[in-house]
Chain A
Amino acid sequence: MSTLVIVEHNNTHMHTATRNTLAAALELDKNPTFLVVGYHCQTVAKEVASLEGVQSVWCLDSPEFEHPLAEQLCDVVVSKASSFDAIIAPSSTFGKNLLPRIAAKLDVGQVSDVSKIIDDTTFEHPIYAGNAIETVRILDPIRVMTIRTIAYNPVQSQQSPCSIETIHHDFANRNSEFVKQELSKSERPELGNAKIVVSGGRGLQSAEKFKLVEELADALGAAVGASRAAVDAGFVPNDYQVGQTGKVVAPMLYIAVGISGAVQHLAGMKDSKVIVAINKDEDAPIFQIANYGLVGDLFELVPQLIELLKNR
């Protein structure tokens, strides 16, 4: 089994999901190859090479790959694909955008969001917003998969960096081009990896009042999430959304404030270790999965909680 892992990064740092994807890769293959494509991305390659268990890193460093689009990355990976039995990436918007394109170019199927590796060809993944788990067998010679990162514990330990091999690739197609990125800036931990997440829903009523959720998050050192209702109402940006169509999180502690608990939201957080719900509606579905529930007005309860946390 030889596995190619496509590294998500911003030319400065590898995405932390690389650590989880490495854990999955090591279940498939003792010596996976990591591919870093970008510009001025040597520090990324070195970061990857320093993760314990990594023995092979390929780095493509070229100005035209500064913001590689799916068309470009697909071309690079497909040109290298014949030496691999598996091609994987995290199931982030990066991996979701790229891997199906690679699979189709290779005329193989793709499995999305792999949550368990049973053997070399058999995998589990959630369907129907996590309300069913499907076990599939891949019949193709090359297995293309995105990895559900929350299902794997990140590799944290370091090693002295393995060697990094430089690769080259020319890409001619000019049908797509990068224009710009507008990234949300936050001092808080990243939603996907935070140990504690505090999320707010429609019950927060306004963007102004949503700040209460942010205060609670800060008192806990937590990341901030939101339900679709809160995003649609404009309380917070889109990339805060937790759920079937947003981010999937599984922190140690998830506090849902003013969130009823629609199926689509639960899909994104029901694997959290401990769930706390604060809601005025005692019949809200969120209470069916919450370990601890508080029924009442969040505008009274949350400030009390913040106070207790500050005095702890």
Chain B
Amino acid sequence: MKILVAVKRVIDPYVKVRVKSDNTGVETQNIKMAMNPFDEIAIEEALRLVEKKIASEVIAVTVGDDSSQETLRHALALGADRAILVKTDTKLESLNVAKLLKRIVDDEKPNLVLMGKQSIDGDNNQTPQMLAALLDWPQGTFASELSVQDNSIIVTREIDGGLETIKLRLPAVVSTDLRLNEPRYASLPNIMKAKRKPLDIIESSSLGLTMKQHIEVLNVKAPATRSGGVKLESVAALMEKLQHEAKVL
């Protein structure tokens, strides 16, 4: 079984983002970047399927500019076999990313596409579902557990009231939730080895897709800030404030 894992380079989750003063976006200059945490979980799960001898090859793919090569090298250092960069210098919305990924799926014909449930920058939680739709494949979103049986994948999904289990016939698209696994770290020898693993660069323009703009970003602003509160001396003082000042009790 061949697994394609889609990854994304995003601002490091521990960095506090700042909105640009011209309201066109957030500051990304000289900001630490990292692989989207949900995508690390997707890579890890693919590697575990290899270790269980269920999968034979893991291909990491991303859509982005040249700097995304670093994210792919990280995927290779974790254990992916090879990587593909679909190169574009424009920031693309989910549907267009899904369309580019579909072209890679058409070429590579994986049995399973694993990807994070959302990227922590856009927080959209769309691309896996969109890719599944374009391929007309079944989808297993927010997976916290999965197992492959013959030609199917059993996915336990995290839903609002608890858990749901579904069975999908392969090929399928599965998106990962935080509790699917604990991603490994890349060891130094593996980081060195990753430098020699194949990384193909495909110009997005060469894929022959005409991509329409569906959503125009008008501006990005900082959210309303909360004014700082007070620290109280005692539980009694807290009760007093909640009852008589805030009037929430």
Determine if A293 and B161 form an interchain contact, defined as CB atoms under 8 angstroms apart. no
Determine if A93 and B121 form an interchain contact, defined as CB atoms under 8 angstroms apart. no
B interface, over-half SS: mixed
Cα A276 to Cα B138 in complex, Å, equals 44
> Nearest B residue to A311 by beta-carbon distance?
B239
Q: How far is the CB of A8 from chain B (nearest CB, A)?
A: 9
Question: Which B164-198 residues sit within 8 Å CB-CB of chain A?
Answer: 164-169, 172, 177-179
Q: A264-298 vs B: 1/0 string, CB under 8 Å?
A: 10000010011110000010000111111111000
5 residue pairs, one from A and one from B, having the closest CB atoms: A109-B214, A100-B129, A104-B133, A176-B138, A104-B130
Which of A30-38, A45-53, A203-211, A237-245 contacts its partner? A237-245
User: Out of B144, B229, B242, which one reaches A290, CB within 8 Å?
Assistant: B229
Residue A12 lies at the interface, judged by CB distance under 8 Å to chain B: no
Q: A108-139 vs B: 1/0 string, CB under 8 Å?
A: 11111100000000100011111111111111
Residue B213 lies at the interface, judged by CB distance under 8 Å to chain A: yes
Determine if B217 and A140 form an interchain contact, defined as CB atoms under 8 angstroms apart. no
11 A-B residue pairings within 8 Å (CB atoms): A93-B142, A96-B141, A97-B141, A109-B215, A110-B124, A131-B16, A136-B215, A253-B248, A264-B13, A291-B229, A294-B234
Residue A247 lies at the interface, judged by CB distance under 8 Å to chain B: yes
**In the assembled complex, which residues on chain B have CB atoms less than 8 Å from the CB atom of A132?**
17, 19, 26, 220-223
> Nearest A residue to B235 by beta-carbon distance?
A304
**In the assembled complex, which residues on chain B have CB atoms less than 8 Å from the CB atom of A102?**
133
Residue A179 lies at the interface, judged by CB distance under 8 Å to chain B: yes
Q: A86-101 vs B: 1/0 string, CB under 8 Å?
A: 0000001110111111
Determine if A112 and B160 form an interchain contact, defined as CB atoms under 8 angstroms apart. no
Determine if B222 and A270 form an interchain contact, defined as CB atoms under 8 angstroms apart. no
> Nearest B residue to A115 by beta-carbon distance?
B223
User: Out of B120, B128, B140, B238, which one reaches A294, CB within 8 Å?
Assistant: B238
**A196 with B248, Cβ < 8 A, contacts A127-B122, A132-B19, A175-B169 known:** yes
A interface, over-half SS: mixed
Determine if B220 and A134 form an interchain contact, defined as CB atoms under 8 angstroms apart. yes
Residue B39 lies at the interface, judged by CB distance under 8 Å to chain A: no
Residue B132 lies at the interface, judged by CB distance under 8 Å to chain A: yes
Query: How many residue pairs bridge A and B at CB < 8 Å?
Result: 254
**A176 with B168, Cβ < 8 A, contacts A100-B129, A294-B238 known:** yes
Question: Which A201-223 residues sit within 8 Å CB-CB of chain B?
Answer: 220
> Interface size on B (CB < 8 Å)?
82
> Nearest B residue to A301 by beta-carbon distance?
B235
Q: How far is the CB of B134 from chain A (nearest CB, A)?
A: 5
Residue A160 lies at the interface, judged by CB distance under 8 Å to chain B: no
Mark B residues whose CB is within 8 Å of A. Answer: 11, 13-14, 16-17, 19, 26, 38, 93-95, 98, 117-118, 120-134, 137-142, 144, 154, 157-169, 172, 177-179, 213-223, 226, 228-232, 234-236, 238-239, 241-243, 246, 248-249
Residue A151 lies at the interface, judged by CB distance under 8 Å to chain B: no
User: Out of A135, A177, A196, A247, which one reaches B217, CB within 8 Å?
Assistant: A135
Cα A270 to Cα B226 in complex, Å, equals 8
Question: Other CB < 8 Å A-B pairs besides A101-B133, A104-B131, A183-B162, 8 of them?
Answer: A69-B138, A99-B129, A100-B124, A104-B129, A134-B220, A182-B163, A263-B14, A305-B235
Determine if B160 and A111 form an interchain contact, defined as CB atoms under 8 angstroms apart. no
Q: How far is the CB of A103 from chain B (nearest CB, A)?
A: 7
Determine if A108 and B214 form an interchain contact, defined as CB atoms under 8 angstroms apart. yes
Determine if A128 and B126 form an interchain contact, defined as CB atoms under 8 angstroms apart. no
**A110 with B94, Cβ < 8 A, contacts A100-B125, A294-B231 known:** yes
Determine if A239 and B160 form an interchain contact, defined as CB atoms under 8 angstroms apart. yes
Residue A252 lies at the interface, judged by CB distance under 8 Å to chain B: yes
Q: How far is the CB of B205 from chain A (nearest CB, A)?
A: 20
> Nearest A residue to B158 by beta-carbon distance?
A238
